[in-house]
């Protein structure tokens, strides 16, 4: 799988536009550009264990500015997938909690339902949950807090569809 | 089949290349009884004795057609044509059968090789009977050259041609010759003053009797073919009589209208009547009719009123000049990429973000600041960033490398540091310093303390009145935010704006990057696929001054050698059109890569200019009506060749 | 003008005000929005990280359902816009994958031919409806109010009708409504997206946007994406910079003369500024 990723970045000339464009570059342990260089050089273990791609916001600054038009967010997504298959978890546990919560809710209702998603993301980290509830007070003033989730009617077919997804060879 | 002609078949051994696989002796013996067919073989027919043998046999046996079965015709067809001609046979009655590259070299099986060789030989025997004698056409060459573009390349080419005693027209669209080089302050790596080395050449162009200088003029139409081009040139109305004007400048002083100066890249103003720069050739003003009050509102008229020599002529009209030329040299130069397209670099959004050409104007003693490097508020910058590869090496804009930016960025670093003592930061991806003296210049610049940061900046931001360049220093692996007062962008070198138009009227192809396509990138960089039209300088691709001058010299040499021939031979292997069959559908016109076919609206038929034809045959295969045929490759010849195989 | 409306999960829950203002504006401007029946979540920027095949199929199901309606999809969320557009692009570029995916879809009785385009409502307003028609319907103008346009990152990237870093449709709209638009360099910067829950570092991005908006003396920020709106609002208390953030449809709705009560609660946050 890592070979396929390396294939995408063969053309990189290491200019560094991606690292400098990335809004969260200050929080990364390995700059984006260096991550690509390490991948090409075969240091995949170091790459998969880094914090960098977990911080990708999908803002696409890197992709539109890359002089070789490399689809970097796609590379970051692929690295996420490889990590989870090899059970390499991120430093920030809450990130994965959020993702897993989202997926659970979508699998359940076919659509996201924020209150449940929030709760499932943060129930394991009560301090953070409290912080958010504190901030969330403004929500009561200006937002509508839904009590019931919006669901799709044919949730069984969606579940089947997603099961079939894993079997397609693309 | 009875063969009426006396056909000589000369089978070459080519050492063991052919003889090693093809059983030539057996082949000859097998066919020795055929009437009017005479077989001979020899180790190397291309050698002197081999050629002599062919001539001998032709004379001895009164042969009327020749088949040479040997290597590929691309190697020795001309040789055998010459041999036949010397022996008194029309060279186009010779057919070269390839039994080497297409036979002995592609199999290990001797039986197969011999069988195939026999078939190939007989196909050519069949064909050669139908071939008709063809004669080379001679056309006279007009001994005059047209050079389009008056930058350093055009000037150099024109001078070389003039020195060789030939007449040359130099057409330049701006009011003065000089091109981009006249805008520069100093050139790398010698730091020669650009004007000082350019202006003597410009003056020479003016003084040389062989050069007819047409400034403020554009080529509108070109027709004809090599040696016989006809060009229509529009000499735009300058509104100033060049014979009366002395260049005193009173008119310019009196003019009330101020407009952005194109020569100063918009950094200063010029008047509606103006001389683009002090050393302009011709040193006479031109009226910009789009902005002049007289032409737009019928007011003012001060320039004419105050001219002591009555040189201002408001009634002057554009003049159309039609002239014949033997060769054309295109030297139209380049245009600069507009960095406004790269939003994140803040060009035209933030103050003090300049392009390299704008800085050249600031550095120049004749520029808007008389050579002072200052910010928009008049202060001297203390920190300057130079960003390489703005728009170059970038799939989003121009994928190619612009060749000169690294070198001139070093030059700008040196000159700016010298003038302002500022800290200079070069943001680069790679340093391409291939010019002679380039590496030494790099050492010099490093010694002066100029800094190099390897990383392409993500963007430029404004923070508290300072410009901040954000980039990853890839050699350190750290993100750096460098605060500077001034940012200089090195934009890509792009094809000049008239390139698509000229390519259409001249029939020149463009390469993928939009520059003119050379005939061969290594061995014929100044020629094009159109015989008689040459290219020089940046119009063929980004390059620096020494390379432009070299290429201009090559183009001039090509043009001179063409013109010196006085006559040119046109190959007879060209297409032929039978007008009776032509319906005027014009499918062939668009297919011809050499623009040899034209639609004649009066006759509703297609007209073929045989002198432009290269005999590629595309039109012949496309013509549904069969109106087109290719000499030496007519239907009868090809069908006979096929029959010979079957 | 008719379109298939793809709401996305946010506007059906906390951001119902956005949807209300969207529907109100569409009515006045004679735009018919038919909500896609039984649409599913687009997968946002989370599914592609964990299961890219599921991500593709989530979008393809929506696109296939929309194809039955025969009209282009209009959305008001950048995340949904990107998910659906990316899927369309991927299918176009990978014909074998497209066929394999269609075979799976057929098991559900669905099929996708690749004919549906996905567009943001902002683009529809400027390109399809046109500034002239909008101007005819304007009843009020918000003069003397300084507005900062904020597109968020996924409107113009990776796909979009405008320049990836310098779109201007929102500015065009706001100028039409009479506002004084500030030159917001941050207009396509990322708000932090979904990571703001987990990663405190991402709050720096929100801080810099709010700081820039305050420095430019903007009275409020106008957004075009529910996640951007939530992020910019939710963390103001923590960051300590307060500036109202509203949706473009709410401002538009106000100027079209629609009753404030129909435009969603966010609009009350700058009632004081409106004349």
Min CA distance, B485 vs chain C (Å)? 19
Q: Report which of B216, B213, B248 is spatially closest to residue B316, judged by C-alpha positions.
A: B216
Q: Kindly indicate the confidence band of residue A115, based on its pLDDT and cuts at 50, 70 and 90.
A: confident
**Size of chain C in residues:** 275
Let me know whether A6 and A48 are in one domain: yes
**Are the beta carbons of A99 and C50 separated by less than 8 Å?**
yes
**Size of chain A in residues:** 170
Min CA distance, C100 vs chain A (Å)? 7
**Are the beta carbons of C165 and B344 separated by less than 8 Å?**
yes
Let me know whether A10 and A77 are in one domain: yes
**Chain A neighbors of B457, CB-CB under 8 A:** 17, 20
Q: Which of A85, A106, A121 is the last residue of a domain?
A: A85
**How far apart, in whole angstroms, are the C-alpha atoms of residue B216 and residue B231?**
16
Of A119-133, B251-265, C237-251, the least confident: A119-133
Q: Domain count for chain A, please give it.
A: 2
Nearest to C166 among B343, B461, B462 (CB): B343
Beta strands in chain C (DSSP E): 2-6, 32-35, 73-75, 118-120, 146-150, 180-181, 220-223, 245-247
**Is the distance from CB of B456 to CB of B365 less than 8 angstroms?**
no
pLDDT of C274? 61
**Chain A neighbors of B401, CB-CB under 8 A:** none
Residue B386 in contact with partner chain A when CB distance is under 8 A: no
Q: Report which of A102, A99, A83, A119 is spatially closest to residue A5, judged by C-alpha positions.
A: A83
Residue B254 in contact with partner chain A when CB distance is under 8 A: no
CATH topology for B144-236+318-333+512-564?
FAD/NAD(P)-binding domain (3.50.50)
**Is the distance from CB of B364 to CB of B371 less than 8 angstroms?**
yes
pLDDT of C252? 95
Residue B470: both structure tokens together = 């954000």
Q: Kindly indicate the confidence band of residue A16, based on its pLDDT and cuts at 50, 70 and 90.
A: very high
For C20-43, write each residue's pLDDT tens digit.
Answer: 999 999 999 999 999 999 999 999
Q: What sign results for the dihedral spanned by CA atoms B97, B99, B100, B106? A: positive
Domain B7-130 architecture: 3-Layer(aba) Sandwich (3.40)
Min CA distance, C225 vs chain A (Å)? 14
What number of C-beta contacts closer than 8 Å exist between B and C? 7
For A67, which residue in chain B has the nearest alpha carbon?
Answer: B394
Taking the mean position of all CA atoms in its chain, how far away is CA B117? 43
Taking the mean position of all CA atoms in its chain, how far away is CA B574? 25
φ, ψ (nearest 5 deg) of residue C107: -65, -25
Min CA distance, C125 vs chain A (Å)? 24
Let me know whether A47 and A107 are in one domain: no
pLDDT of B182? 96
Is it the case that residue A164 has pLDDT exceeding 90?
A: no
**How far apart, in whole angstroms, are the C-alpha atoms of residue B278 and residue C11?**
67
pLDDT of B635? 85
In chain B, which residues fall in CATH 3.50.50.60? 144-236+318-333+512-564, 335-494
Do strands B533-535 and C220-223 pair parallel, antiparallel, or not at all (unpaired)?
unpaired
- Measure Cα distances from A162 to A84, A105, A112, C56, C104 in Å: 18, 14, 16, 10, 10
φ, ψ (nearest 5 deg) of residue C119: -135, 155
**Are the beta carbons of B474 and A67 separated by less than 8 Å?**
no
**Are the beta carbons of B474 and A26 separated by less than 8 Å?**
no
ipTM: 0.92
**How far apart, in whole angstroms, are the C-alpha atoms of residue B357 and residue B336?**
9
- pTM for the whole structure: 0.85
Q: What sign results for the dihedral spanned by CA atoms B121, B122, B125, B128? A: negative
Of A12-21, B152-161, B222-231, C222-231, the least confident: B222-231
Q: Which of A85, A110, A133 is the last residue of a domain?
A: A85
- H/E element holding B258? strand B258-260
pLDDT averaged over 10-residue windows placed end to end, chain B, 646 residues: 80 91 90 88 92 92 92 89 92 92 92 92 90 88 96 97 97 97 93 94 97 97 90 96 92 94 94 94 94 92 92 94 97 97 95 96 94 94 97 96 95 96 97 94 96 96 94 95 97 96 94 95 93 96 96 97 88 88 88 84 88 86 89 87 84
**How far apart, in whole angstroms, are the C-alpha atoms of residue A18 and residue A72?**
8
Q: Which of A30, A63, A85 is the last residue of a domain?
A: A85
**Are the beta carbons of A20 and B395 separated by less than 8 Å?**
no
Tell me the three state secondary structure of residue B237. Answer: coil
For C83, which residue in chain A has the nearest alpha carbon?
Answer: A58
Q: Kindly indicate the confidence band of residue A150, based on its pLDDT and cuts at 50, 70 and 90.
A: confident
Residue B459 in contact with partner chain A when CB distance is under 8 A: yes
- H/E element holding B506? helix B499-506
pLDDT of A169? 83
Placement of tokens 């300072």 in the chain: B466
Among C166, C186, C204, C215, most B C-beta atoms within 10 A, so best to mutate, is C166
**Chain A neighbors of B394, CB-CB under 8 A:** 67
For C151-194, write each residue's pLDDT tens digit.
Answer: 999 999 999 999 999 999 999 999 999 999 999 999 999 999 99
Range B245-251, long-range pairs (CB < 8 A, 24+ positions): B245/B284, B245/B285, B245/B309, B245/B311, B246/B309, B246/B311, B247/B275, B247/B283, B247/B284, B247/B285, B248/B308, B248/B309, B249/B275, B249/B285, B250/B306, B250/B307, B250/B308, B251/B285, B251/B302, B251/B303, B251/B304, B251/B306, B251/B307, B251/B312
pLDDT of B459? 95
Let me know whether A76 and A99 are in one domain: no
**How far apart, in whole angstroms, are the C-alpha atoms of residue B378 and residue B361?**
16
pLDDT of B4? 79
* Start-to-end C-alpha separation, chain C: 32
**Chain C neighbors of A143, CB-CB under 8 A:** 14-15, 17, 265
Q: Which CATH superfamily is domain B335-494 in?
A: FAD/NAD(P)-binding domain (3.50.50.60)
Let me know whether A49 and A121 are in one domain: no
Nearest to B470 among A20, A30, A34 (CB): A20
**Is the distance from CB of B497 to CB of B319 less than 8 angstroms?**
no
Query: Under 8 Å CB-to-CB from B59, ≥6 apart: which residues?
Result: B87, B88
**How far apart, in whole angstroms, are the C-alpha atoms of residue B336 and residue B488?**
14
**Is the distance from CB of B586 to CB of B563 less than 8 angstroms?**
no
pLDDT of B113? 92
**How far apart, in whole angstroms, are the C-alpha atoms of residue B149 and residue B179?**
8
DSSP labels, C79-106: HHHHHHHHHHHHHHH-HHHHHHHHHHHH
Let me know whether A119 and A61 are in one domain: no
**How far apart, in whole angstroms, are the C-alpha atoms of residue B379 and residue B375?**
5
**How far apart, in whole angstroms, are the C-alpha atoms of residue B548 and residue A62?**
37
Q: Which domains, from first to last, does chain C contain?
A: 2-121 (1.20.1050.140), 130-273 (3.40.50.11810)
**Chain C neighbors of A90, CB-CB under 8 A:** none
Residue B462 in contact with partner chain C when CB distance is under 8 A: yes
Let me know whether A20 and A59 are in one domain: yes
**Is the distance from CB of B397 to CB of B489 less than 8 angstroms?**
no
Let me know whether A66 and A103 are in one domain: no
For C87-99, write each residue's pLDDT tens digit.
Answer: 999 999 999 999 9
- H/E element holding B406? helix B405-420
Residue C78: both structure tokens together = 């950048």
Give the domain extent around A127.
Answer: 93-167
Percent of chain A with pLDDT strictly greater than 90: 66
**Are the beta carbons of A16 and B455 separated by less than 8 Å?**
yes
pLDDT of C88? 95
**Chain A neighbors of C266, CB-CB under 8 A:** 142
**How far apart, in whole angstroms, are the C-alpha atoms of residue B237 and residue C163?**
41
pLDDT of C270? 67
- Measure Cα distances from B505 to B219, B224, B485, B534 in Å: 9, 11, 47, 14
**Is the distance from CB of A18 to CB of A35 less than 8 angstroms?**
no
Q: Report which of C61, C79, C65 is spatially closest to residue C4, judged by C-alpha positions.
A: C65
**Are the beta carbons of C13 and A98 separated by less than 8 Å?**
no
Radius of gyration of chain A (CA): 19
pLDDT of C272? 64
Residue B112: both structure tokens together = 């197969």
Between C77 and A165, residue with greater pLDDT: C77
In chain B, which residues fall in CATH 3.40.50? 7-130
Let me know whether A158 and A134 are in one domain: yes
Supply the CATH number for residue A8's domain. 1.10.1060.10
Q: Report which of B179, B296, B232 is spatially closest to residue B539, judged by C-alpha positions.
A: B179
**Is the distance from CB of B228 to CB of B142 less than 8 angstroms?**
yes
Min CA distance, A42 vs chain C (Å)? 22
Let me know whether A78 and A12 are in one domain: yes
Min CA distance, A54 vs chain C (Å)? 9
C95-120 b/e (C-beta count within 10 Å ≥ 16 → b): eebbeebbebbeebebebeeebebbb
CATH topology for B571-630?
Alpha-Beta Plaits (3.30.70)
Nearest to C54 among A84, A118, A162 (CB): A162
Q: How high is the mean pLDDT of chain A?
A: 91
Let me know whether A162 and A97 are in one domain: yes
- Measure Cα distances from B98 to B244, B442, C100 in Å: 70, 56, 50
Is it the case that residue A137 has pLDDT exceeding 90?
A: no
């Amino acid at each position: 799988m890592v070979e396929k990723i390396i294939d995408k970045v063969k053309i990189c000339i290491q200019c560094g536009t991606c690292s400098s464009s990335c809004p969260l570059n200050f929080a990364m342990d390995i700059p984006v550009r260096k991550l690509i260089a390490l991948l090409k050089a075969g240091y995949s273990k170091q790459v998969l264990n880094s914090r960098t791609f977990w911080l990708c916001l999908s803002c696409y600054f890197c992709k539109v500015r890359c002089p070789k038009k490399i689809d970097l967010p796609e590379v970051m997504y692929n690295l996420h997938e490889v990590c989870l298959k090899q059970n390499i978890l991120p430093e920030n546990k809450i990130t994965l909690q959020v993702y897993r919560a989202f997926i659970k809710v979508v699998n359940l209702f076919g659509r996201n339902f924020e209150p449940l998603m929030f709760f499932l993301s943060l129930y394991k980290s009560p301090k953070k949950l409290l912080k958010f509830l504190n901030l969330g007070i403004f929500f009561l003033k200006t937002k509508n807090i839904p009590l019931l989730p919006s669901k799709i009617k044919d949730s069984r077919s969606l579940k089947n569809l997603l099961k079939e997804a894993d079997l397609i060879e693309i | 089949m009875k063969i009426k002609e006396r056909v000589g078949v000369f089978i070459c051994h080519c050492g063991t290349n052919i003889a090693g696989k093809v059983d030539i002796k057996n082949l000859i013996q097998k066919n020795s009884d055929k009437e009017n067919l005479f077989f001979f073989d020899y180790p190397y027919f291309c050698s002197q004795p081999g050629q002599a043998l062919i001539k001998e046999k032709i004379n001895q046996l009164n042969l009327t057609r020749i088949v040479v079965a040997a290597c590929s015709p691309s190697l020795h067809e001309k040789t055998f044509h010459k041999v036949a001609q010397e022996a008194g046979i029309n060279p186009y009655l010779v057919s070269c059968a390839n039994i080497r590259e297409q036979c002995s070299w592609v199999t290990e099986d001797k039986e197969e090789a011999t069988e195939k060789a026999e078939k190939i030989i007989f196909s050519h025997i069949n064909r050669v009977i139908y071939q008709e004698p063809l004669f080379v056409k001679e056309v006279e060459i007009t001994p005059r050259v047209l050079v389009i573009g008056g930058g350093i390349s055009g000037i150099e080419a024109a001078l070389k041609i003039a020195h060789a005693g030939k007449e040359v027209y130099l057409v330049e669209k701006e009011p003065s010759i000089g091109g981009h080089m006249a805008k520069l302050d100093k050139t790398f790596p010698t730091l020669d003053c650009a004007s000082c080395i350019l202006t003597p050449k410009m003056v020479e162009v003016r003084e040389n009797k062989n050069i007819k200088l047409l400034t403020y003029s554009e080529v509108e139409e070109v027709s004809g073919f090599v040696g016989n081009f006809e060009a229509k040139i529009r000499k735009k109305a300058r509104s100033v009589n060049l014979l009366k004007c002395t260049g005193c400048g009173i008119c310019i002083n009196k003019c009330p209208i101020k407009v952005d100066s194109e020569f100063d890249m918009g950094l200063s103003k010029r008047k509606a009547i103006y001389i683009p720069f002090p050393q302009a050739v011709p040193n006479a003003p031109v009226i910009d009719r789009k902005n002049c009050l007289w032409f737009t509102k019928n007011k003012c008229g001060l320039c004419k009123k105050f001219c002591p020599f009555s040189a201002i002529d408001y009634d002057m009209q554009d003049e159309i000049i039609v002239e014949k030329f033997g060769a054309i040299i295109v030297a139209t130069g380049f245009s600069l990429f507009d960095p406004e397209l790269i939003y994140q670099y803040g060009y035209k959004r933030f103050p003090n973000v300049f392009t390299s050409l704008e800085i050249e104007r600031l550095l120049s003693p004749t520029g808007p600041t008389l050579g002072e490097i200052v910010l928009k508020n008049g202060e001297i910058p203390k920190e300057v960033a130079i960003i390489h590869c703005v728009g170059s090496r970038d799939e989003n804009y121009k994928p190619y490398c612009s060749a000169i930016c690294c070198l001139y960025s070093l030059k700008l670093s040196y000159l700016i540091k010298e003038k302002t003592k500022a800290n200079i930061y070069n943001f680069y991806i790679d340093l391409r310093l291939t010019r002679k003296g380039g590496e030494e210049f790099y050492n010099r610049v490093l010694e002066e303390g100029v800094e190099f940061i390897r990383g392409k900046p993500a963007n430029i931001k404004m923070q508290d009145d300072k410009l901040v360049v954000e980039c990853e220093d890839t050699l350190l692996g750290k993100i750096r935010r460098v605060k500077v007062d001034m940012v200089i962008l090195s934009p890509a070198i792009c094809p000049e704006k008239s390139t698509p138009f000229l390519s259409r009227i001249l029939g020149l192809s463009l390469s993928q990057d939009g520059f003119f396509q050379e005939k061969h990138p290594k061995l014929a960089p100044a020629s094009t696929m159109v015989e008689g039209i040459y290219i020089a300088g940046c119009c063929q691709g980004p390059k620096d001054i020494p390379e432009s001058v070299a290429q201009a010299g090559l183009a001039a040499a090509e043009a001179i050698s063409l013109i010196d021939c006085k006559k040119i031979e046109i190959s007879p292997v060209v297409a032929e059109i039978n007008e009776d069959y032509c319906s005027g559908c014009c499918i062939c016109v668009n297919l011809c890569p050499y623009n040899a076919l034209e639609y004649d609206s009066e006759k509703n038929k297609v007209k073929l200019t045989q002198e432009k034809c290269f005999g590629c045959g595309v039109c012949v295969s496309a013509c549904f009506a069969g109106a087109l045929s290719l000499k030496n490759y007519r239907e009868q010849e090809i069908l006979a060749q096929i029959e010979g195989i079957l | 003008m008719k379109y298939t409306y793809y709401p996305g999960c946010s506007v059906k829950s906390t951001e119902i005000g956005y949807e209300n203002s969207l529907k109100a504006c569409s009515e006045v401007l004679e735009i018919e929005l038919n909500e896609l029946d039984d649409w599913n979540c687009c997968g946002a920027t989370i599914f592609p990280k964990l299961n890219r095949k599921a991500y593709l199929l989530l979008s393809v199901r929506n696109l296939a359902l929309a194809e039955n309606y025969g009209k282009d999809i209009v959305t008001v969320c950048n995340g949904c816009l990107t998910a659906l557009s990316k899927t369309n692009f991927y299918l176009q570029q990978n014909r074998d994958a497209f066929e394999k995916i269609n075979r799976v879809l057929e098991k559900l009785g669905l099929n996708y031919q690749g004919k549906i385009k996905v567009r943001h409502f902002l683009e529809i307003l400027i390109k399809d409806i046109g500034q002239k028609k909008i101007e005819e319907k304007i009843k009020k103008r918000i003069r003397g109010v300084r507005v900062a346009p904020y597109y968020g990152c996924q409107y113009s990237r990776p796909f979009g009708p405008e320049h990836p870093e310098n779109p201007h449709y929102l500015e065009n709209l706001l100028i039409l409504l009479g506002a004084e638009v500030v030159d917001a360099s941050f207009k396509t910067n990322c708000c932090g997206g979904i990571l703001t829950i987990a990663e405190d570092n991402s709050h720096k991005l929100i801080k810099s946007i709010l700081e820039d908006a305050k420095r430019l003396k903007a009275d409020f920020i106008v957004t075009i994406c529910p996640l951007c709106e939530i992020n910019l609002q939710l963390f103001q208390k923590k960051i300590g910079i307060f500036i109202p953030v509203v949706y473009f449809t709410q401002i538009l709705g106000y100027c079209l003369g629609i009753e404030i009560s129909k435009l969603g609660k966010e609009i009350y946050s700058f009632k004081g500024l409106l004349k």
